[in-house]
Structure 1
Amino acid sequence: MLDIVTRFAPSPTGFLHIGGARTALFNWLYAKHHGGRFLLRIEDTDRKRSTQEAIDAIIEGLKWLDVSYDGEIVYQSKRIERHKEVANLLVEKGRAYHCYCPETERKIKAREEGKIYKHKCTSVTSDVRPVVRFKVPDSEDIIVDDKIYGQVKVNSEQLDDIVILRSDNTPTYIFAVVVDDHDAGITDVIRGSDHLTNTFKQLLIYQALDFDIPRFAHVPLIHGEDGNKLSKRHGATSVCDYEKMGILSKAMRNYLLRLGWSHGNDEIISDEQAIEWFNLESIGRSPAQLDFKKLEHLNNHYISNMSNEDILALILGENTLTDKKKGYLLQGLTELKKRANYLTELLDLAKFYIQDPPLDLSEEARQIVKSNLNIIKLLASFLSKIGDENWNKVFLSSQIKECAKSHDMKVSGVYHSLRAPITGVMDAPGIIDIMVILGKDECIRRLQAI
């Protein structure tokens, strides 16, 4: 097998969506698995719809996903002279021709109705600038050996002569892709199944130019949780949206990998395993279906297994904290990260560690404080008598039980009376663990601030 070269070739008319991100990942993994190269080409020949903002979003999205490309980015718009050269070569070979025909009402109507319209060029010359059309052979079977769908066939009678150069001499997508893939030495084209109809046309162009034909693999599309084709109504579709939601890039890669590809019953798959195991044969033929619960589960797994230091760096960003509060968080994250499905949840879950008293109390905590002011005052006095050297989980637990017993209180009631003023919420981790992290002085300060 020749050295594998794959590519991701998005059009910069919008942000990097989840389907495009999966396509990029599959191409990257396939190249890595075979020790090949993965290239990035920006297909920006549609100058009216292409934007720098979209280009930047695509590059940033790939960077966040940690899907790295080899070499420099190729911009299709900078290769127009090459596209024109190859189009003229096809004209010289008699495989393409200049067409002066205007778009007829008949063709427009046929297109709107989804019907096939076979072009019949009748105008030889005109004052208008011509397009260049590729001649589609008459009544010829076009066969694509697809690595996912197997052999797929269509008859050329179903295809119109293909416009390869517009009247302004810019190439059409169908044509430019063939030239660019050939010149880049692309060996494997892995893309969405919505491109399969383009492949039949492109195969004819490859053959007419005597270009080496790459292997094709058309990946089924992604559907929403309702089974319908993915769209904005299904929620976040841009990779940038998932990053803002607090999804880790590792979790996203794992999730995208499992959208249509499988390796037995494995769900948690590391990058190293993905590169080792990835193949086209394990991609299913049915559309993959989004499952946000599965994404949450994966994200929770990767958050839980991430170091507290790395999590703290991510959730703080440009924000600064005192060393004491950072210390609280670094210790507290060990338990809190197990509860978080999104990074964005962690700061909210951990806010009681970094708030200064008096804390913002939840409604439930406020009611408990209001009903137990005398007990809270008693606890502050009781805890102040414990020496710093005994401020640990075992000693605190035994002393609180003794306090409850001597004052004829339930231990659970004492814990509630500590949890409410010290954390401000009633669903925080174990209160004794939190008290050990905060230390004696901070706990008493919070009890006395009520």
Structure 2
Amino acid sequence: MSDKELQTINTILDSVADAIFTVDEDMKITTYNKAAESITGIPAEEAIGRPCHEVFRADVCFTACPVKEAIETGMPVTDREVHVTGKNGRHVPVSISANVLRDANGRPVGGVETMRDQSLIHVLQQEIENKFTFGDLLSRNKIMNKLFAIIPDIAASEATVLIKGDSGTGKELFAKAIHENSPRKDGPLVIINCGALPEPLLEAEIFGARRGAYTGSIENRPGRLEMAKGGTLFLDELGDLPLPLQVKLLRVLENHEYQPLGAPSPEKADVRFIAATHRNLEQMVDRGEFRRDLFFRINVVSLTIPSLKERPEDIPLLVDKFLKRFNSIYHKNIKGFSPEAMQLMLEHDYPGNVRELLNLVEQTVILCKQREITVECFPESFLVTTNAVRRRKRTGASSPHLSKEVIIDALEKFHGNKGKVSKALGIDRTTLWRWMKRLDIQ
């Protein structure tokens, strides 16, 4: 190739907005345009002749080099997102495509790689995320954003807070946001699930126990109240707290004192209380299952978290956030969900709320072998349930009653396993049996 022809090629390459470079069989740079200089901060005269990993210092250079993959497989690599480290140490997000270069006889003689700087796109994505973010909470829903707006005022007070919402809506994240924006943020946030232990163990877990307080108690055991000193105690699933312990909790709230099991005298409770429940405490009060005085004492400030079904506009935001997390955890580079897959996710009811969406994204990331998650990556139970929701919406049915066709379809998919069918349809086994009998399904 003449010098004039080479100069013409370099002029063409320098006029391209994307970074372009080529390497020989030894992975040493042979051509390198102006856009590549801009990304790395290294001029062409310093880059040409050097191994490409010394110049670009990408996070995949020694583990999954795109140009090396293209040369070895003979197949092009497209739109792979990586980070390049510039001369000044700045990490630049880029989208890479690579292909093999061959001579006139078809023999591989090197490779070519293009890079598109994604910095501006990442900045815009971060701005959008920041706009709808409060701590670990993320939402563009109007109700949720009203809650975000009042969290600083609630956090600044010492008032007890009752957070209400279905399981999986993120009540613990709200408690964390209140604590981290409060004067007690340097103290601990201690969490206890009031429904996770039987009453005797739960009492010792909350209030602590002194040596000899019960059989097998051979040393002093601090309770969660003591562990939360100077911070916040989050009582999750407060509606499951047994009535005898409700009395003791009320005393703590009123007198700011508690008495560990076996202790001769009470101790001061220097904690801020936040409670959460998915149950209707007002109805429990009317049925005598929850103390009225405790309800009014704990319900000073009340927050109600909407279900994910009530805020479908948050699904794409949450999916993107979860996808980034699981790409990092499982060392994947999945770009996103196909339009058909995203449509299914938008149509699903999510009885398990954000927690269900989180689990769904994690499962699809684990199982997906492509760069994009398609409908085929979804678990069968999700597809069955979503198809049932689609049919119900088409018929305009407002009740959760399912048609004979839906139930038979689910039975066939799960080979007659009624446990899996009931779980997929979001109903219990008794309801499934009753519907099968009513619809004469054998």
> Fold conserved (TM > 0.5)?
no
Q: Which has the higher helix share?
A: 1
Query: Under TM normalisation by the shorter chain, which class is it?
Result: under 0.3
Higher relative CO (Cα under 8 Å, sequence separation at least 6) belongs to 1
Q: Which has the higher strand share?
A: 2
